[in-house]
Amino acid sequence: MTNIKLYNKISQIGLDVFDNSKYYVAEDANAPEGILVRSAALHDEPFGKELLAIARAGAGVNNIPIDRCSENGIVVFNTPGANANGVKELAVAALLLASRDIVGGINWVATLKGQPEVGKLVEKGKSKFVGPEIKGKTLGVIGLGAIGGMVANTACALDMDVVGCDPYITVKNAWSISRAVRKADDYDAVYAQSDYITYHIPSLPSTKGIINKENIAKMKDGVRIINLSRGDLANIPDLIEALESGKVASYVTDFPCEELIGIPHVVCIPHLGASTPESEDNCAVMASEQLIDYIENGNIRNSVNYPEIVLPRTEANRVIVLHENIPNIITQISAALASDNVNIESLLSQAKGNNAVSIFGSNDSINEAIVADIAAIKGVVRVLVR
Q: Please give the CATH topology (third level) of the domain spanning 84-268.
A: Rossmann fold (3.40.50)
Catalytic residues: 230, 259, 271
57 touches 287 (CB < 8 A)? yes
CA–CA separation, 295 and 386 (whole Å): 8
Which pLDDT does position 381 carry in this prediction?
A: 98
CA–CA separation, 51 and 60 (whole Å): 21
Which pLDDT does position 91 carry in this prediction?
A: 98
Rounded to the nearest 10 degrees, how much is the dihedral formed by the CA atoms of 136, 138, 139, 141?
140
| Residue ranges covered by each domain of the chain | 1-82+276-303, 84-268, 307-386
Are both 1-82+276-303 and 84-268 of the same fold?
yes
CA–CA separation, 8 and 275 (whole Å): 14
108 touches 129 (CB < 8 A)? yes
CA–CA separation, 265 and 249 (whole Å): 7
Give the pLDDT of the chain (386 residues) as one tens digit per residue. 999 999 989 999 999 999 999 999 999 999 999 999 998 999 999 999 999 999 999 888 989 999 999 999 999 999 988 989 999 999 999 999 999 999 999 999 999 999 999 999 999 999 999 999 999 999 999 999 999 999 999 999 999 999 999 998 988 889 999 999 999 999 999 999 999 999 999 888 999 999 999 999 999 999 999 999 999 999 999 999 999 999 999 999 999 999 999 999 999 999 999 889 999 999 999 999 999 999 999 999 999 999 999 999 999 999 999 999 999 999 999 999 999 999 999 999 999 999 999 999 999 999 999 999 999 999 999 999 99
361 touches 334 (CB < 8 A)? no
79 touches 302 (CB < 8 A)? yes
Query: Which residue type is seen at 374?
Result: I
Which pLDDT does position 156 carry in this prediction?
A: 98
CA–CA separation, 155 and 143 (whole Å): 14
Strand partners, 348: 359
Could you give the C-alpha distances from 35 to 12, 57, 301, in angstroms and in order?
15, 10, 16
Helices (H), the chain: 12-15, 66-71, 84-99, 102-110, 118-125, 146-157, 171-176, 187-193, 213-216, 236-245, 277-297, 329-339, 368-375
Which pLDDT does position 59 carry in this prediction?
A: 81
Q: Please give the CATH topology (third level) of the domain spanning 1-82+276-303.
A: Rossmann fold (3.40.50)
CATH superfamily, domain 307-386, is: ACT domain (3.30.70.260)
The secondary structure of residue 145, as a DSSP letter, is: S
